[in-house]
Amino acid sequence: MCLTQIGQVVDVLDDERAEVELGGQVRVVPLTAVDDPVRVGDQLLIQCGLAVARISPPEADQLARAARAAGESR
């Protein structure tokens, strides 16, 4: 099973990689699947270690709430 995570960009290394905070850890993540330019502070959807989309803060909040609710229902 592959888990999709929400991460926040803490540093843009170049056009193809960024450092992203995921669950308290900073990881280098490829940006090749993200069409929009990425900036420090942006929220990204990370799947299988690859950034797949840039999302807005309201979208990130909504997804985080849904993930918590799904975890509580188990």
Concatenated DSSP letters of 52-66: EEEE-HHHHHHHHHH
Q: Which domain holds residue 21?
A: 4-72
Q: What is the pLDDT of residues 26-36, one digit of tens each?
A: 999 999 999 98
pTM of the model: 0.85
pLDDT reported for residue 66? 85
CATH code of the domain containing 58: 2.30.30.140
* Domain count across the chain: 1
